Amino acid sequence: MTVSVRIDQASVEATDLPLMSVRSVSKFYGQRIGCADVDFDIWPGEVLAIVGESGSGKTTLLNCISTRLTPTAGTVSYRMRDGEMRDLYGLGEAERRLLLRTDWGFVHQNPADGLRMTVSAGANVGERLMAVGDRHYGKIRATATDWLGRVEIDADRIDDQPRAFSGGMRQRLQIARNLVTAPRLVFMDEPTGGLDVSVQARLLDLLRGLVHDLGLAVIIVTHDLAVARLLSHRMMVMKDGRVIEHGLTDRLLDDPQAPYTQLLVSSILQV
Amino acid sequence: MNAHTQVSNYNFAYLDEQTKRMIRRAILKAIAVPGYQVPFASREMPMPYGWGTGGVQVTASILGPDDVLKVIDQGADDTTNAVSIRKFFQKVAGVETTTSTEDATIIQTRHRIPEAPLQEDQILVYQVPIPEPLRFLEPRETETRKMHALEEYGLMHVKLYEDIAKNGHIATTYAYPVKVEGRYVMDPSPTPKFDNPKMHMSPALQLFGAGREKRIYAVPPHTEVISLDFEDHPFEVQRFDKPCALCGAEQVYLDEVVLDDRGGRMFVCSDTHHCESRQAAGHRGEMSGEVLS
């Protein structure tokens, strides 16, 4: 069930080779299925949404492909910056962790999971830079200031701790912290969950702009079809741990084929 | 001290030989991997945790009958901790003790390195409360071990960044993190950062014992010990405006002594032996009285 749809948009930095290939990934929790037999590819600059109800295995899948959870079966391979395709679980732990804090980003649903709540916003953004060996305070601070501006946080909040920030600001700070090393692939787990609607709208707007400008590949897990519609090029619908439908976002939302997807689409509230 | 004043019911230097053997093996491993924290089976000692149980166990394991022991507490030979540990080893090992840095073969210290340069045949034993430099940044032991193993030390600089962001300069003045031989980041125990440069390429062996946390680590002689810093905020030691009020020494670490309730104060050498030997050699500070003859 390999998805091989190519997105041909001028805004998308399309190359011939996928950035990440996922092949028959399964995760079992004892007798229970977390996710089963998932296959897909993602290309550079592409946004893929994984949607489904709670307990459908979205987050398990996201954790499996981002090396946060070892899958029971299947392979996940990633194209490194030198162009070589490597099996993620064949990498050493040091390489995997380096990947996680340089070439990848991970945006958690709860910003407290992705931020250091007891250090200032500037240090939160600067941490990845220092982790890869940046040792010039002035430059780190200038980069942090620049990134706070890009996520619409005032520069005079740079020395405040994230616990003094609102939910929406924390989420934007978390995004800045992840993007500072210019990653190529960002995983997002319900990035707009727990935010009120107007804050959600601003965040989505910001995300869409950043993804477009930076040419990021994004794998976003969400139960909110509106988020998927706004951000993603392609969608996968999951139910009970399996992918039941996949395709271009607009096609899938306008003309759902699987009965469950039809139910999902029809249960959106029309205001 | 002679054998007849030694308590005969104890093995030499209090610990039994098996324990000493275990601790020596940990020490040898620590020396072989400079800056790496080696776990060891820390014993209960006849003193409370926080009073130097780690340092005492290290000292007891390396002590021989011919050694001369000096114990300092914040640089002083005459404070409670220093006096009681010195007496302890007089009692259970019968070794000779001294307050002179030059004469000692083993110096157990709580939070200072003596001002007099150490020599090749000397061993400095530090008492360490919390051996893990990353502890206050990352509470999980499993995670800090992994960070050491994979040399992920970016977090240490986050702490220094925070210092500069809050205070305009690196405000950490003690337990200032160092990198040993280009590999492990190490907590030099809560010594003032004034002493950090003395650890670099020291001819003496430096051993660190943390009794409660059950860790031993070491800096072998002539090992590179570099204090962490930023390119535009380099590492600096504390500077004092005045010389020592008793011996007139400059370029030494001074203690502030409050004299009255009207703001009177004096600054004196924290290393009492250094101060006394300078005074004996005729050096005088602004507040030293005349010597009675």
Q: Which domains does chain A have, with CATH numbers?
A: 40-79+91-103+183-271 (3.40.50.300), 116-181 (no CATH)
Question: To the nearest 5 percent, what fractions of chain B are helix, strand and coil?
Answer: 30, 20, 55
Picking from B158, B160, B227, B232 by the largest number of A CB atoms within 10 A of its own CB, the best residue to mutate is: B158
Per-residue pLDDT, B18: 96
- Which residues of chain A lie closer than 8 angstroms to B164, CB-CB? 137
| In contact, B81 and B51? CB cutoff 8 Å | yes
Per-residue pLDDT, B9: 78
DSSP-derived secondary structure for A11-40: TS---SS-SEEEEEEEEEETTEEEEEEEEE
Token duo for residue B93: 């090992």
Q: Does B152 touch chain A (CB under 8 A)?
A: yes
Per-residue pLDDT, B98: 95
Could you say which DSSP state residue A90 is in? G
- Range(s) for CATH 3.40.50.11310 in chain B? 6-227
User: Counting Cβ atoms within 10 Å, is residue B161 exposed (0-12), middle (13-18) or buried (19+)?
Assistant: buried
Token duo for residue B284: 């005088």
Query: Which superfamily does CATH assign the domain made up of B6-227 to?
Result: Bacterial phosphonate metabolism protein PhnH (3.40.50.11310)
Residue A243 C-alpha, separation from nearest chain B C-alpha, in angstroms: 34
Selected catalytic residue, list B275, B282, B285, B289: B275
Task: Give the residue from chain B lying closest to A138, CA to CA.
Answer: B232
Per-residue pLDDT, A8: 45
Selected catalytic residue, list B154, B247, B264, B289: B247
Count of Cβ atoms closer than 10 Å to residue A229 Cβ: 18
Check if B282 is active-site.
Answer: no
User: Counting Cβ atoms within 10 Å, is residue A15 exposed (0-12), middle (13-18) or buried (19+)?
Assistant: exposed
Cβ contact, residue pair B158, A116, below 8 Å: yes
Cβ contact, residue pair B162, A94, below 8 Å: no
Token duo for residue A58: 């979205």
- Which residues of chain A lie closer than 8 angstroms to B166, CB-CB? 120, 159
pLDDT 10s digits, A11-40: 444 467 899 999 999 999 999 999 999 999
Segment 109-128 of chain A within 8 Å of chain B by CB:
116, 119-120, 122-123, 126-128
Q: Does B165 touch chain A (CB under 8 A)?
A: yes
Position of tokens 């028959």?
A: A24
Task: Give the residue from chain A lying closest to B152, CA to CA.
Answer: A131
Selected catalytic residue, list B35, B54, B75, B285: B35
Position of tokens 């650890």?
A: B199
| In contact, A17 and A222? CB cutoff 8 Å | no
Q: Residue A130 is nearest to which of B154, B165, B166, comparing CB atoms? A: B154
Q: Average pLDDT of B124-139?
A: 93
Q: Residue B154 is nearest to which of A127, A136, A158, comparing CB atoms? A: A127
Per-residue pLDDT, A194: 79
Q: Average pLDDT of A219-231?
A: 90
Q: At what angle do helices A167-179 and A137-150 cross, to 10 degrees?
A: 130
Selected catalytic residue, list B55, B244, B263, B285: B244
Phi/psi for A223 (5° steps) reads: -105, 0
DSSP-derived secondary structure for B232-277: TB-------SS--TTT---SS-EEEEE-SSSS-EEEEES-HHHHHH
Measured distance CA(A202)–CA(A189) in Å, rounded: 18
Check if B269 is active-site.
Answer: yes
Whether the per-residue pLDDT at B3 is higher than 60: the answer is: no
Q: Does B135 touch chain A (CB under 8 A)?
A: no
- Which residues of chain A lie closer than 8 angstroms to B152, CB-CB? 97, 131
Strand, coil or helix: what is A47?
strand
Phi/psi for B141 (5° steps) reads: -65, -40
The percent of residues in chain A predicted with pLDDT above 90, rounded, is 67
Task: Give the residue from chain B lying closest to A94, CA to CA.
Answer: B150
pLDDT band at residue A212, thresholds of 50, 70 and 90?
confident
Whether the per-residue pLDDT at B5 is higher than 60: the answer is: no
Q: Average pLDDT of A244-269?
A: 91
Alpha-carbon torsion, ordered B67, B29, B136, B178, to 10 deg: 80
Task: Give the residue from chain B lying closest to A125, CA to CA.
Answer: B158
Cβ contact, residue pair A141, B231, below 8 Å: no
pLDDT 10s digits, B230-244: 999 999 999 999 999
pLDDT band at residue B66, thresholds of 50, 70 and 90?
very high
Check if B75 is active-site.
Answer: no
Per-residue pLDDT, B8: 63
Measured distance CA(B104)–CA(A38) in Å, rounded: 69
pLDDT band at residue A5, thresholds of 50, 70 and 90?
very low
Whether the per-residue pLDDT at B175 is higher than 80: the answer is: yes
Whether the per-residue pLDDT at B185 is higher than 90: the answer is: yes
pLDDT 10s digits, A54-67: 889 999 999 999 99
Whether the per-residue pLDDT at B7 is higher than 80: the answer is: no
pLDDT 10s digits, B96-115: 999 999 999 999 999 999 99
User: Counting Cβ atoms within 10 Å, is residue B217 exposed (0-12), middle (13-18) or buried (19+)?
Assistant: buried
Q: Does A17 touch chain B (CB under 8 A)?
A: no
Q: Residue A137 is nearest to which of B150, B152, B233, comparing CB atoms? A: B233
Whether the per-residue pLDDT at B156 is higher than 50: the answer is: yes
Q: Average pLDDT of B55-60?
A: 97
Q: Average pLDDT of A105-111?
A: 93
pLDDT 10s digits, A152-171: 899 999 999 999 999 999 99
Cβ contact, residue pair B154, A128, below 8 Å: yes
Residues 6+ apart with CB under 8 A from A141: A122, A126, A158, B165
Q: Average pLDDT of A120-147?
A: 94
Check if B35 is active-site.
Answer: yes
Residues 6+ apart with CB under 8 A from B203: B118, B119, B120, B221, B222
- The more confident residue out of A57 and B5 is A57
The percent of residues in chain A predicted with pLDDT above 70, rounded, is 94
- Cα dihedral across residues B131, B133, B134, B137: positive or negative: positive
Whether the per-residue pLDDT at B117 is higher than 80: the answer is: yes
Whether the per-residue pLDDT at A203 is higher than 90: the answer is: no
Per-residue pLDDT, A170: 94
Q: Average pLDDT of A201-210?
A: 88
Cβ contact, residue pair A122, B165, below 8 Å: yes
pLDDT 10s digits, B22-45: 999 999 999 999 999 999 999 999
Per-residue pLDDT, A10: 40
Q: Does A155 touch chain B (CB under 8 A)?
A: no
